[in-house]
Amino acid sequence: MLVGIGPGSHDHMTHRARAAIAESDVVVGYVTYIKLVADLLEGKEVIRKGMTEELDRAVHALASAREGKKVALISSGDAGVYGMAGPTYEVLFQAGWTPESDVEVEVVPGASAINACAALVGAPLTHDFCSISLSDLLTPWPVIARRLDAVAAADFVVALYNPKSGRRTQQIVEAQRLFLRHRRPDTPVAVVKSAYRRRERIEFTTLDKMSDCDIGMLTTVLIGNSNTFIRHGLMVTPRGYANKYELHGDGSTREGERPGRSLSTGLLGWMENLKADRAEGESIAELALRHKLPADYIEAVLMTPAEDVAVKEEAASTEESET
Ligand code: SAH
């Protein structure tokens, strides 16, 4: 069993994770995680491994399982998020394992650092987000830098995992440099250290000061998008309701908008406007520039008959309700 034990406190471990550890004969994991579940380990074979012995851990787990033992391989957060689930499946496939064979595999999901840190600082992930690991131990820097550049430009809320370690100190500075090319210097940033652990620490800052903060191995850095704000010590990314509803009035929809329907600037409305602008003489190149979209995409959209989309949206809107 590949068990995600959550950020670190028992209260934030799932029932299934606890049960999986309880029913196992062998528990394998990095020393820190073993310590976090110390009280669940009585009478079990416990294998503590160092940080760089990840593949060893998976190989050992497979060997024990083949002896008929139940093995819990524990990861912090979620075992599939920068965790042991991937390497374990790779080791299994290498050993000729298939889902039908002797050893049964279960991945037990857990709250990842991004969930834990977001909960502690407010509601920063209420709109599109992504995570990027700054660790270049297994990923070339240009790959990481390209992803940073792309998501900075695309205005995602971003969680930076593995932002800094004793030896890796410049990566966060480079991440900041790439982000500042696309985002305002006062973009809100939350630096969360040891979420739900003894040394928990939360610091709010801005993009231009991000790299000056106390950041280490147990820190996750949350960078807001262009709408994210911090108020009363809480970091919040608006979901977009203000685009559609009068938040301070009677909750009615804004002029031109309808409840349960795409925004007037949603796909259908946007297509209509695009066609109108084109008909009025705006060139495809100009439209592409204005909407920051590729010209061939604009061209393809302009060739899609509006009726097709309208009919589909009409049919779907009867099933769809807003959440
Ligand atoms: N599988 C883990 C991630 C492992 S990578 C998960 O799903 O959370 C290790 C990185 O996770 C750390 O460098 C840090 O960026 C982040 N992290 C893990 N636990 C954390 C915690 N309690 N508080 C803040 N960040 C944490």
Question: If you compute the radius of gyration of the chain from its CA atoms, what whole number of angstroms results?
Answer: 24
DSSP string, 87-116: HHHHHHHHTT--TTSSS---EE----HHHH
Residue bearing the CA closest to ligand 1, atom 4: 82
Residue 293, pLDDT > 90, answer yes
All structural domains of the chain: 2-111 (3.40.1010.10), 114-236 (3.30.950.10), 246-322 (no CATH)
| Mean pLDDT on 21-44 | 89
Is residue 197 within 8 Å of residue 8, measured between CB atoms? yes
- Mutational pocket test of ligand 1: of 136, 161, 198, 203, the residue with most ligand atoms within 8 Å of the beta carbon: 161
Residue 321, pLDDT > 80, answer no
CA of 216 to the centre of ligand 1 (A): 11
Residue bearing the CA closest to ligand 1, atom 9: 162
Q: Which residues of 144-162 are buried (b: 16+ CB within 10 A; e: fewer)?
A: bbebbeebbeebbbbbbbb
> Which pLDDT belongs to residue 82?
95
Residue type, 78: D
Residue 207, pLDDT > 90, answer yes
| Mean pLDDT on 279-299 | 96
> Could you tell me how far CA 318 lies from the centroid of its own chain?
31
Q: How confident is the model at residue 262 (pLDDT cuts 50, 70, 90)?
A: confident
Residue 171, ligand 1, Cβ within 6 A = no
Which atom of ligand 1 is nearest the CA belonging to 200?
A: 23
Which atom of ligand 1 is nearest the CA belonging to 7?
A: 22
Residues near 163 by Cβ (< 8 Å), separated by ≥ 6? Answer: 134, 171, 172, 175, 215, 219, 220, 221
Residue bearing the CA closest to ligand 1, atom 6: 77
Residue 176, ligand 1, Cβ within 6 A = no
Residue 78, ligand 1, Cβ within 6 A = yes
Residue 113, ligand 1, Cβ within 6 A = yes
Residue 81, ligand 1, Cβ within 6 A = yes
Residue 109, ligand 1, Cβ within 6 A = no
Residue 127, pLDDT > 60, answer yes
Per-residue pLDDT tens digits for 58-114: 888 888 999 999 999 999 999 999 988 998 999 999 999 999 988 999 999 999 999
